Structure formats: structure tokens, C-alpha cells
Amino acid sequence: MKIEGKEYRTIWFDDKSQTVKIIDQTKLPHQFIIKDLKTAKDAITAIKVMEVRGAPLIGATAAYGIVLAIMEKNDLNFIKKSSEELIQSRPTAINLKWAVDRMMKKLSGVNNNELLKAALNEANAICEEDIKFCENIGLNGLKIIQEIYSKKKDTINILTHCNAGWLATINWGTATSPIYHAHKNGIPVHVWVDETRPRNQGANLTSYELSEEEIPNTIIADNTGGILMQRGEVDMCIVGTDRTLATGDVCNKIGTYLKALAAKDNNVPFYVALPSSTIDWDIENYKDIPIEERNSEELSHIEGLDESGNVKKIQIYPKKSKSMNLAFDVTPAKYVTRLITEKGICEASSNGLKNLFNK
Ligand code: MRU
């Protein structure tokens, strides 16, 4: 998608410098910085400090992390150790493990002198596949928006939470892909963007990327969605997910669950968009999903532009106050209207998912 009119992906391998390039998302929206990852450690750190974030993108970064490990030291023990550290760099999104397992499977039995080529091909294939899947999610989700538009015949107001946009994937995004496709098809859309405290991915990333694509959007405080739904000002919600269970339960950014409850109470359809790489077919009980707890400084401090236009970080809470920073919650399947995937739209249930994916 576009930034200042120029097409970008969120991650790519640069043949010339033999490095992995990323857009440093900790600097957005005030600074646009492309950063080089040169070692497996660089990839692990980028995931941990969220220079890259969003389930599909951290999966792709982990895949390139293995490429970087091979470039550093073509040694099986080192590659295995790096792959384990990559999986552990963030606990909730299943895409990390999915991508690393896929890479390691591809590399097993490959000759040492062919390892790098095989790894790079596979990491590139993971990215290409994600782009295709996100595009298909968009085309499938477009049908839902078209149906709502055929009845309303006026601007469709869509609420989204966090950033499940192209910045969270390689391109297109998951939740935003149907929105981009609707916009390209001439359907007037307006997006309510949940600010998404504490890291403000909605305000800093979703609003930024939508505005760069000229899609009308309005940032709202996280607690505003409820009243907007009561007032009939939300036609649908679309969110992403970091791990969807085979039961249809959806783990996503903290606060998603409360939006789903408000949507249910107001008969607002609540859609979750995801590529199949985000499905965890193994865990049966959502209570077994590891929920990331991040540093409380993400709550107590905030970054923005000062009066001179310089980026500044300030403390907003009393020093003595304790805070807790759970990064994800789970929305039970019963609150999810439908799942939008690359294969089609299905009920958020084991039957729905199993039928769609022939499991
Ligand atoms: O903590 P983050 O910013 O990585 O969380 C991202 C989300 O919660 C997204 O909704 C999710 O990864 C969906 S992926 C398109």
C-alpha cells in the first residue's frame, strides 16, 4: 500500500545489501524510517520491541530471522537455537510458531550449501502467500460490505480495533483489506478507529495508513464505540486476530472483547478477518492461550510531538502508581458474526472452520 504516494511492503529482503528491510513501526506516524535487520538477534529484538508487529508480519519476520541466522553461521545448532528464540519472542500470535515450523520443515534434509537459498525462497514464499491471502480476505469481505451498501445506499461506517491493517501484514492487511477493496470499488466508507491504548496502534498506525490511502477515518477513544453503536453510527465492526481457535474463539488486541459485547447488544455485525496462518488447530480451550503481559511503562509513559515538533516521551501517571498491561483478550465465538478468511466466509465454530478448511 502507499506512503506518500509510493508503494511499500512492510518487510523485504534486499539483495544488494543482503539485509532484511523493515519499516520501523515504533517511529510511526511521526517518522518514516526503514531499518536493516542483519542478524537473527536483530529480528528477535525487532519483534520484541514491536518495530514490527501484527500477527502475519511477525511470522514473516521470524521466517527472515532464520535466513539471517543461516547467513551468520551455517550451523544447525545455531539455527535451531535461533528458531526457538524467535518463537518465544512474543507469546500470543500463533503465526510466529507457524512460520518457524514451516521454515524448519522446509530446511530439514537440505544440504548445508543449499540451506540459505532454500530458506530465502521459503521466507519470500511466506510473504507472497500472505499478500495473496490478505487480498482474498479483502475480496471476500467486500461482498459483505456490498450487501450492507445495497440496503443503506449511504456511507458505510466501520469500526476497527488496533491495527489489523497492511502494516500488520505484508500488504493489504486483514481487517482493512475489505475496506480498501470497498474504497477501490467506489463504495463510500468511513472508519471509526479505536485509539487502542496503551500503544495506540489504532491512532498511530491504522489512522495513518488509512489516511495515506485517502480513506476517511476518525480516531475515537477506546470507550467510545459503545455509544456510537447505540446511536446507530456503526454499520459493522471488522477486527483482526492473533490466534483463532478451531472452536471459533478469537484472541485479539485487548479491548476487542468489550467491542464485541457492545456490538452484540446493539445488533451490529462483528466480523473477524484472518488468514489461515492465524488458526491454532491444537488448543481447545481459550484459557490455554498464552496472553502476553507487556511492560507497564507502555501505560505510564506516552510518546508524541512536543511544541517544537520533536518526538518526546513523557510520564503520564504518578511514579508510585502500579499498572498492569495485558496485551490481548479473547472474544468467544458466540459474539462473532462470521470469520472472513482467504478461503471464504464461515461461521465462527468448529463446523464452520473445519468445513471451510477441509479438516
Ligand atoms: O500487539 P500488536 O500490535 O502486534 O497487536 C496486533 C493486533 O492485535 C492485530 O489486531 C492482529 O495482529 C491482527 S493481524 C492483521
Range of the domain at 165: 144-357
pLDDT per residue rounded down to tens, the chain (359 residues): 899 999 999 999 999 999 999 999 999 999 999 999 999 999 999 999 999 999 999 999 999 999 999 999 989 999 999 999 999 999 999 999 999 999 999 999 999 999 999 999 999 999 999 999 999 999 999 999 999 999 999 999 999 999 999 999 999 999 999 999 999 999 999 999 999 999 999 999 999 999 999 999 999 999 999 999 999 999 999 999 999 999 999 999 999 999 999 999 999 999 999 999 999 999 999 999 999 999 999 999 999 999 999 999 999 999 999 999 999 999 999 999 999 999 999 999 999 999 999 99
> Which of helix, strand or coil describes residue 47?
helix
pLDDT value, residue 167: 98
Asked, for residue 135, whether it belongs to a domain, the answer is no
**Per the structure, how many domains does the chain have?**
2
Phi, psi of 319 (to 5 degrees): -55, -35
- Tell which of 94, 129, 164 closes a domain: 129
CA dihedral 130, 55, 303, 214 (to 10 degrees): 40
Residues 8 and 90 in one domain: yes
* Cβ within 8 Å of residue 300, ≥6 positions away: 315, 316, 317, 321, 323
For the chain, the C-alpha Rg in angstroms (whole number) is: 20
Antiparallel, parallel or unpaired: β 2-3 and 338-340? unpaired
Q: What is the CATH number of the domain that holds 14?
A: 1.20.120.420
Q: For 296-334, what is the HEC assignment?
A: CHHHHEEEEECCCCCEEEEECCCCCCCCCCECEEEECHH
CA angle 318, 255, 305 (to 5 degrees): 50
Asked, for residue 171, whether it belongs to a domain, the answer is yes
Residues 246 and 294 in one domain: yes
How far away, in angstroms, is 281 Cα from ligand 1 center? Answer: 19
Residues 328 and 268 in one domain: yes
pLDDT value, residue 308: 96
**DSSP at 206:** I
Report the C-alpha gap between 44 and 40 in whole angstroms.
6
Asked, for residue 340, whether it belongs to a domain, the answer is yes
20 close to 11: Cβ distance less than 8 angstroms:
yes
Antiparallel, parallel or unpaired: β 236-239 and 156-160? parallel
Residues 295 and 329 in one domain: yes
Asked, for residue 239, whether it belongs to a domain, the answer is yes
Residue 242 annotated in active site: yes
Asked, for residue 247, whether it belongs to a domain, the answer is yes
Phi-psi region of 47 (alpha: psi -120 to 50; beta: other; left: phi over 0): alpha
Q: What is the arrangement of strands in the sheet containing 345-346, beginning at the earlier edge strand?
A: 217-220, 189-194, 156-160, 236-239, 270-273, 338-340, 345-346
Asked, for residue 137, whether it belongs to a domain, the answer is no
Report the C-alpha gap between 270 and 259 in whole angstroms.
9
How far away, in angstroms, is 215 Cα from ligand 1 center? Answer: 20
| Cα-Cα-Cα-Cα dihedral sign, residues 19, 175, 103, 52 | positive
Residues 209 and 314 in one domain: yes
Asked, for residue 342, whether it belongs to a domain, the answer is yes
User: Directed axis angle between helix 76-88 and helix 55-72, to 10°?
Assistant: 160
**DSSP at 202:** I
pLDDT value, residue 355: 98
Which residue from 23, 24, 135, 162 has its CB within 8 A of the most atoms of ligand 1, so it is best to mutate? 162
pTM of the predicted model as reported, rounded to 2 decimal places: 0.97
Catalytic residue, candidates 222, 235, 242, 249? 242
Which residue from 61, 252, 330 has its CB within 8 A of the most atoms of ligand 1, so it is best to mutate? 252
- Atom number in ligand 1 closest to CA 55: 12
Residues 102 and 157 in one domain: no
CA angle 74, 76, 78 (to 5 degrees): 80
Residues 123 and 149 in one domain: no
pLDDT value, residue 204: 98
Q: 92 to each of 2, 139, 273, 353, how far by Cα in Å?
A: 29, 27, 17, 20
pLDDT value, residue 62: 98
Phi, psi of 217 (to 5 degrees): -150, 155
Residues 156 and 303 in one domain: yes
Residues 117 and 148 in one domain: no
- Atom number in ligand 1 closest to CA 175: 15
- Atom number in ligand 1 closest to CA 169: 15
Residues with CB under 6 A from ligand 1: 53-56, 93, 162, 164, 168-169, 173-174, 201, 240-242, 252-253, 327
Residue with CA nearest ligand 1 atom 5: 54
Asked, for residue 136, whether it belongs to a domain, the answer is no
Q: How many CB atoms lie within 10 A of CB 4?
A: 7
pLDDT value, residue 139: 98
Residues 118 and 189 in one domain: no
Residues 200 and 316 in one domain: yes
The residue behind cell 535466513 is 67
Q: What is the CATH number of the domain that holds 197?
A: 3.40.50.10470
Residues 89 and 212 in one domain: no
- Tell which of 67, 101, 129 closes a domain: 129
Inter-residue long-range contacts of 129-132, CB under 8 Å, 24+ positions, other chains counted: 130/56, 130/59, 130/60, 130/169, 130/170, 130/171, 130/275, 130/277, 131/9, 131/169, 131/170, 131/171, 131/172, 132/342
pLDDT digits (tens, 9 = 90+) for 79-105: 999 999 999 999 999 999 999 999 999
The residue behind cell 479505536 is 194
